[in-house]
Amino acid sequence: MAYRWKNDLTRADATPEAVFLNRRRVLAGLGIGAAGLGIAGLPGRAQAQDALEPNSWEDITSYNNFYEFGTRKDDPKRNAHMLTTEPWSVTIDGMVDKPGDYAFADIMSQMSVEERIYRLRCVEAWSMVVPWNGFELADLLDLAGVKPEARYVAFETAYRPEEMPGVRFPVLDWPYVEGLRLDEARHPLTIMATGIYGRDIPNQNGAPLRLVVPWKYGFKSIKSVVRITLTDEQPPTSWNKSQPSEYGFYSNVNPNVDHPRWSQATERVIGSGGGGLLGRLQVERQPTLMFNGYEDEVASLYEGMDLRENF
């Protein structure tokens, strides 16, 4: 049964009709009818807000961070076409029963793909709403078999200097790496995304397979994953290695813990100012929600923890 949580979005919030029809065909091919799409939405909020709509395809695919292709927001769209995504495989190793290289096609043949409309909150204090298609990470971990002693999951992005012009510059220690505690990784909200709006995920958004953890800042949702390692030690993460005073391991969205260089109390809503670059600059600000609005679902994971110390 698909995971369900409180939400304030309905199918009527989706946009536009052409994209809706495309998504409906994809879902129909998966045997998922409209009645089964109640899983698509956002969790309940502390107070009622105006209904949110997913951002446009243009917003989602042309305004994002993927430093392997450049540091400007439009660099990934301009340069990511160089990334070869077929064939693709993911190495799953470490504390698993069945380590090995898993072909992307073989993974997809064994996963149940569904639509999840999630808020995306960047650490830079901007936000979007994205209609992802993907499967729960827990199902992929079960495919490999997690050993009892495993406590963390480490992830690694593809590193291909011949295809990724951004890695020529020491912005970070390449390849990009990330990590989650095992209970975070196995939470039903944590997915491996393979599509947006029912289409294959574009290269600039992390094709063909990226992590999505909606209650954490966007940089935790590592793109173009080529390795997943189960371990009993907290794995290193790229931004924490680069600037440990600014980026913690957990990186949960928290309006009460500011970044050292800016406030996290509010966020710029990308797309609220209309189309084009000017519209993206003239955006509305709204209060940042604890755990990005997913507090009811995930707060128990951090019970008893000091979230200022464990930021």
CB distance 166 to 73 below 8 Å? no
Q: From CA 213, how far away is CA 207, in angstroms rounded?
A: 16
Q: Is 256 annotated as a binding residue?
A: no
Residues 6+ apart with CB under 8 A from 203: 76, 80, 81, 83, 85, 224
State the DSSP code for 44.
Answer: P
Q: Is 3 annotated as a binding residue?
A: no
**Residue matched to tokens 């680069």:** 242
Q: Is 222 annotated as a binding residue?
A: yes
Q: Is 64 annotated as a binding residue?
A: yes
Query: Omega of the bond prior to 235 within 30 degrees of 0, cis?
Result: no
Tell me the one-letter amino acid at 207. A
Q: Is 184 annotated as a binding residue?
A: no
Quote the strand ranges of the chain, DSSP E.
89-94, 100-103, 114-121, 126-136, 152-157, 177-181, 191-196, 199-200, 210-212, 225-231, 266-269, 284-287
Q: Is 7 annotated as a binding residue?
A: no
Q: From CA 159, how far away is CA 130, in angstroms rounded?
A: 26
Residue ranges in 172-305 assigned as alpha helix (H): 182-185, 238-242, 276-281, 295-298
Q: Is 122 annotated as a binding residue?
A: yes
Q: Is 112 annotated as a binding residue?
A: no
CB distance 209 to 137 below 8 Å? no
Q: Is 67 annotated as a binding residue?
A: yes
Q: Which residues are annotated as a binding site for Mo-molybdopterin?
A: 64, 67-68, 122, 157, 205, 210, 221-223
Q: Which residues are annotated as a binding site?
A: 64, 67-68, 122, 157, 205, 210, 221-223
